[in-house]
């Protein structure tokens, strides 16, 4: 897309200057303004007029030197030149900033810095409402990036995420053809919780979850030298800004708010209302809480990175290998009630490893081999593996693959006979330098630092396993039965 930038501004000065002085400044400005810009490009027109204690300025330019960048250059040149004359710069007012694109656009932009956006006759004009601070913060550039991004999303909107089969297990005998969620409800193994997409897991299925964990720890994490940590489960905006989630996950967040004060008097009317009506005065509560401070865990690994944020680590501690299984993840999922395979509240072991690119890639391979062994020997599953859009890109709303081919996500998908379809039940990802960069973590040697992560969804493992093997322990693989021994029968109902 081609752009034309037209900017009018007034530079305030500490004292008056004469028009002649300004004429003398024109040459150095014109000489220096297009520095480094290809011949005949950049600023094509620049007009300066003295106006008491200010300079009226008009700039016309193309994409080789955007007018707002030209303005920052002029500010620098003028402050040097006027400094010699003992006149200082006192700030810039942007009077009008119009960007014209040579394309009709069919995108909507709702940001406070856009006054007007119009498309007609194959052109789009954009009037920006920005000041000096916004220009220093590169907001005009970000607005143009956003427009390009929205345009691309429209063009490729129907294009689905990347998916490429890379491995398929042997075909397996299925012992069952039902929907395990329904069977578990019948058997009182699970009951829907009082919240959306939430289950209460009874002793039997919990034992199966814990057995999965035991196997993963014994077969994979201990031999590979992983250490357990406890990651926070309430995630701040700052973490999601650094992880990239702040770009896109708003429709899926379980938001968390704090009270405006913990003074009981401030809350007395809420308490009284409840005591009298036995209803929760939700509207009144809304007035008494702050805006959200963030939300409940979504991707599990991001809040860990605060542990390393801003630190430099000696090379010889790498690779670092850790995992967390200390709590739930929450996503406001689409659609109505699903089985345990799609829920708003779920349980996952999250594995994180950090090191040089070679170490991180090698570790991902070891984990993949380990998982395959578990799926063969303990669960006897039919599964396949696919290279997909890296999880962090998918969660940022992007569909492409990563430019570096060794960065990316492998999804493990298990077959669900009752649905005749595949279910993603785990991933292994090489995340490149995304997290060390986002959280400013460095190696002492300044060599590249990478990381990877892998999420083991316990509900998903159970959904795939039970869908293939059913509920008769005689049909379950011997190695698993040996680990689980028996399923506890605790409740009976009348």
Residue 342 among the catalytic residues: yes
Pick 301 or 343: Cβ nearer ligand SER: 301
Would you give the distance in Å from CA 103 to the centre of its chain? 31
The answer to whether the CB of 371 falls within 8 A of the CB of 428 is: yes
User: Which option in Zn ion, ligand SER, none does residue 322 bind, with CB closer than 5 to 8 A by kind?
Assistant: none
Q: How far is the CB of 248 from ligand SER (least distance, A)?
A: 13
Tell me which of 75, 341, 385, 453 is the catalytic residue.
Answer: 453
User: Which option in ligand SER, Zn ion, none does residue 427 bind, with CB closer than 5 to 8 A by kind?
Assistant: ligand SER
Nearest residue to ligand SER, by Cβ distance, number only: 455
Helices 19-33 and 67-83, interaxial angle, to 10°? 130
Q: How far is the CB of 170 from Zn ion (least distance, A)?
A: 29
Pick 135 or 430: Cβ nearer ligand SER: 430
Phi, psi of 179 (to 5 degrees): -95, 110
DSSP per-residue codes, 268-321:
HHHHHHHHHHSS--HHHHHHHBPSP-EEE-SSSSGGGGGGTTT-EE-GGGPSEE
Pick 257 or 361: Cβ nearer ligand SER: 361
Tell me which of 179, 342, 413, 459 is the catalytic residue.
Answer: 342
For β-strands 345-355 and 408-416, DSSP reports them as: unpaired
Tell me which of 134, 427, 431, 459 is the catalytic residue.
Answer: 427
Residue 333 among the catalytic residues: yes
Pick 189 or 435: Cβ nearer ligand SER: 435
Q: HSE on the CB side for 77, CA within 13 Å?
A: 19
Residue 86 among the catalytic residues: no
Pick 34 or 300: Cβ nearer ligand SER: 300
Residues 6+ apart with CB under 8 A from 452: 352, 353, 354, 360, 363, 364, 428, 429, 430, 431
Q: How far is the CB of 240 from ligand SER (least distance, A)?
A: 12
Residue 331 among the catalytic residues: yes
Q: How far is the CB of 451 from Zn ion (least distance, A)?
A: 9
Tell me which of 350, 363, 380, 413 is the catalytic residue.
Answer: 350
Residue 56 among the catalytic residues: no
Closest by CA position to 430, among listed 368, 372, 492:
368
Q: How far is the CB of 186 from Zn ion (least distance, A)?
A: 35
Structural element, H or E, at residue 384: strand 383-388
Residue 460 among the catalytic residues: yes
Q: How far is the CB of 271 from ligand SER (least distance, A)?
A: 39
CA distance 60 to 20: 23
- Pattern 432-461, Zn ion, x by CB under 5 A: ---------------------x--------
CB neighbour burial string for 154-172, b if at least 16 within 10 angstroms, e if fewer: eeeeeeeebeeeeeebeeb
Pick 401 or 427: Cβ nearer ligand SER: 427
User: Which option in Zn ion, ligand SER, none does residue 341 bind, with CB closer than 5 to 8 A by kind?
Assistant: none
User: Which option in ligand SER, Zn ion, none does residue 450 bind, with CB closer than 5 to 8 A by kind?
Assistant: none
The answer to whether the CB of 86 falls within 8 A of the CB of 14 is: no
Pick 303 or 355: Cβ nearer ligand SER: 303
Residue 363 among the catalytic residues: no
The residues pairing with 454 across neighbouring beta strands, listed in sequence order, are 351
Give the interface with ligand SER as residue ranges (CB under 6 A): 299-301, 350, 391, 427, 453, 455
- Pattern 271-310, Zn ion, x by CB under 5 A: ------------------------------x---------
Tell me which of 324, 344, 411, 413 is the catalytic residue.
Answer: 411
The residues pairing with 387 across neighbouring beta strands, listed in sequence order, are 164, 410
Tell me which of 73, 331, 344, 348 is the catalytic residue.
Answer: 331
Q: Is 168 helix (H, G, I), strand (E, B) or coil?
A: strand
Cα first-last separation, the chain: 71
- Helices in 174-267 by DSSP H: which ranges? 180-186, 203-216, 237-243
Q: Is 329 helix (H, G, I), strand (E, B) or coil?
A: strand
User: Which option in ligand SER, Zn ion, none does residue 249 bind, with CB closer than 5 to 8 A by kind?
Assistant: none
Q: How far is the CB of 354 from ligand SER (least distance, A)?
A: 14
Pick 339 or 457: Cβ nearer Zn ion: 457
For β-strands 3-13 and 54-62, DSSP reports them as: antiparallel
Q: What is the dihedral of CA 424, 426, 428, 434, to 10 degrees?
A: 80
Tell me which of 219, 333, 377, 448 is the catalytic residue.
Answer: 333
The residues pairing with 146 across neighbouring beta strands, listed in sequence order, are none
Residue 453 among the catalytic residues: yes
Active site residues: 301, 331, 333, 342, 350, 411, 424, 427, 453, 460
Contacts to Zn ion by CB under 5 A: 301, 453
């Amino acid at each position: 897309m081609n752009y034309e930038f037209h900017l009018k501004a007034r530079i305030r000065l500490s004292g008056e200057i004469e028009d002649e002085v300004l004429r003398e400044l024109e040459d150095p400005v014109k000489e220096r303004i297009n520095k480094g810009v290809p011949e005949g490009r950049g600023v094509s027109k620049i007009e300066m007029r003295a106006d008491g204690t200010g300079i009226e300025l008009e700039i016309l330019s193309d994409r080789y030197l955007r007018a707002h960048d030209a303005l920052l250059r002029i500010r620098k040149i003028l402050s040097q030149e006027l400094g010699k004359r003992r006149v200082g710069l006192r700030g810039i007012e942007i009077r009008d900033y119009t960007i014209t694109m040579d394309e009709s656009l069919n995108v909507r932009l709702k940001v406070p810095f856009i006054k007007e956006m119009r498309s007609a006759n194959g052109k789009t004009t954009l009037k920006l409402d920005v000041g000096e601070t916004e220009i220093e913060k590169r907001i005009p550039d970000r607005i143009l990036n956003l427009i390009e991004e929205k345009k691309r999303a429209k063009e490729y909107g129907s294009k689905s995420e990347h998916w490429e089969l890379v491995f398929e297990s042997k075909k397996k005998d299925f012992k069952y053809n039902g929907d395990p969620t329904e069977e578990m409800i019948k058997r009182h193994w699970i009951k829907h919780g009082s919240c959306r997409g939430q289950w209460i897991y009874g002793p039997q299925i919990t034992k199966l979850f814990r057995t999965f964990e035991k196997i993963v720890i014994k077969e994979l994490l201990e031999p590979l030298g992983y250490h357990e940590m406890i990651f926070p489960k309430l995630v701040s905006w700052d973490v999601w800004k650094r992880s990239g989630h702040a770009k896109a996950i708003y429709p899926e967040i379980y938001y968390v708010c704090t009270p405006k004060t913990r003074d009981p008097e401030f809350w007395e009317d809420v308490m009284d209302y409840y005591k009298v009506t036995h209803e929760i005065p939700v509207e009144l509560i809304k007035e008494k809480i702050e805006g959200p401070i963030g939300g409940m865990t979504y991707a599990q690994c991001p809040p860990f990175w605060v542990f390393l944020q801003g630190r430099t680590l000696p090379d010889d501690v790498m690779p670092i290998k850790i995992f967390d299984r200390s709590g739930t993840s929450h996503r406001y999922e689409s659609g109505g009630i699903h089985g345990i395979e799609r829920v708003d509240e779920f349980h996952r072991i999250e594995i994180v490893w950090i090191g040089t690119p070679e170490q991180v890639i090698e570790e991902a391979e070891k984990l993949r081999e380990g998982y395959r062994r578990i799926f063969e020997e303990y669960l006897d599953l039919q599964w396949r593996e696919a290279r997909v859009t890296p999880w962090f890109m998918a969660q940022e709303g992007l569909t492409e693959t990563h430019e570096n081919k060794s960065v990316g996500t492998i999804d493990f998908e298990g077959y669900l006979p009752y649905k005749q379809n595949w279910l993603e039940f785990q991933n292994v990802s090489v995340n490149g330098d995304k997290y060390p960069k986002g959280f400013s973590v460095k190696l002492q040697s300044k060599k590249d630092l990478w990381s990877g992560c892998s999420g083991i969804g316990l509900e998903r493992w159970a959904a795939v396993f039970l869908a293939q093997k059913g509920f008769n322990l005689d049909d379950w693989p011997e190695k698993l039965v040996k680990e689980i021994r028996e399923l506890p029968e605790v409740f009976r109902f009348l």
